[in-house]
């Protein structure tokens, strides 16, 4: 008999699932038996992820288009999951952007865009999923924060503030929802190889690499493996925590 998978028949929403960490989380969750609702700014962008999941697990995903910073669009994604499957077990708030600049010259719009896409989105999705999860008396929410939400970072006041906000949201929601058997945790990745970090210059990459005790950048799968753990019963007594996955950079 094949052993039961960690997320067998769990219904999972993953935002920003078109590439990078979100794509890896989708692939690993599907490999563990989850049924996926993937969200991105365009359906076309989700095709690669859907093809990967199909190839590896012979499974179809529901693809949804949404700007995660817009309440009505977020509600539609969650409604689609509920209409199709009747429940939502796992929410992964992964979508995120950077618009780096020094504080003194940062355009107000860049502050607003980053805070809306990274932090407000997590509030909107958590709110939309909290209702069905409370009714079900079960659920898991995973917020993809960042180590810079803990340490701060020059040139990233907007991004770091959004990621610190996600940590506070995680801890507050965890306290609020624990009685309903809903767990809320955050992952704080360090320096992970994706398109987000590819755009950094070689000199900056080298400087960051020197600060990583394990001596290399992380792989998206290394974040996805932790997300699977946090979504599974293996972490059933963990809530309100921030799991740092950074090769030892922040201690």
Ligand X SMILES: NC(=O)c1ccc[n+]([C@@H]2O[C@H](COP(=O)([O-])OP(=O)(O)OC[C@H]3O[C@@H](n4cnc5c(N)ncnc54)[C@H](O)[C@@H]3O)[C@@H](O)[C@H]2O)c1
Q: How far apart are CA 38 and CA 16, in angstroms?
A: 8
* Residue range at the interface with ligand X (CB under 6 A); choices 51-59, 92-100, 203-211, 231-239: 92-100
- Contact with ligand X (CB under 6 A) among 94, 158, 170, 232: 94
C-beta separation of 14 from 38 below 8 A: yes
> How far apart, in whole angstroms, are the C-alpha atoms of residue 16 and residue 25?
10
How are strands ordered across the β-sheet holding 11-15? 62-65, 35-40, 11-15, 90-93, 139-144, 182-189, 242-245
CB of 196 to ligand X, least distance (A): 3
What is the 8-class DSSP label of residue 217? Answer: P
Ordered DSSP codes for 58-106:
----EEEE--TT-HHHHHHHHHHHHHHHS---EEEE-------B-GGG-
CB of 240 to ligand X, least distance (A): 19
87 contributes a contact to ligand X by CB under 6 A: no
CB of 152 to ligand X, least distance (A): 14
Among 5, 31, 33, 41, binds ligand X (CB under 6 A): 41
- Does 159 participate in catalysis according to the annotation? yes
Instruction: Between 15 and 235, name the residue whose CB sits nearer to ligand X.
Output: 15
Q: Which of 111, 125, 159, 191 is catalytic?
A: 159
Does position 27 interact with ligand X (CB under 6 A)? The reply is no
Residues that bind ligand X (CB under 6 A): 15-16, 18-22, 40-41, 45, 67-69, 94-97, 117, 144, 146, 189, 191-192, 194-197
List active site positions. Answer: 159
């Amino acid at each position: 008999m094949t052993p039961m998978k960690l997320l067998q028949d769990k219904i999972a929403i993953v935002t920003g699932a078109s590439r990078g960490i979100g794509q890896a989380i989708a692939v690993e969750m599907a490999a563990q038996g989850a049924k996926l609702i993937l969200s991105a700014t365009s359906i076309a962008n989700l095709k690669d992820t859907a093809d990967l999941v199909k190839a590896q697990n012979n499974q179809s995903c529901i693809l949804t288009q949404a700007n995660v910073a817009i309440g009505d669009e977020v509600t539609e994604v969650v409604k689609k999951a509920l209409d199709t499957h009747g429940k939502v077990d796992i929410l992964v708030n992964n979508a995120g952007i950077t618009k780096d600049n020094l504080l003194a010259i940062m355009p107000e719009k860049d502050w607003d865009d980053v805070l809306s896409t990274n932090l407000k989105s997590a509030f909107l999705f958590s709110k939309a999923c909290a209702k069905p999860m409370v009714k079900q008396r079960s659920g898991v929410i995973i917020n993809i924060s960042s180590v810079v939400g803990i340490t701060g970072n020059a040139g990233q006041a907007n991004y770091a503030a959004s990621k610190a906000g996600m940590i506070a949201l995680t801890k507050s929601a965890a306290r609020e929802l624990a009685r309903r058997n809903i767990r809320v945790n955050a992952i704080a990745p360090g320096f992970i190889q994706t398109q987000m970090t590819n755009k950094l210059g070689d000199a900056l990459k080298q400087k960051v690499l020197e600060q990583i005790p394990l001596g290399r950048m992380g792989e998206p799968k290394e974040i996805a493996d932790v997300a699977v753990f946090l979504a599974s019963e293996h972490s059933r007594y963990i809530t309100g925590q921030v799991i740092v996955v950074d090769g030892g950079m922040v201690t």
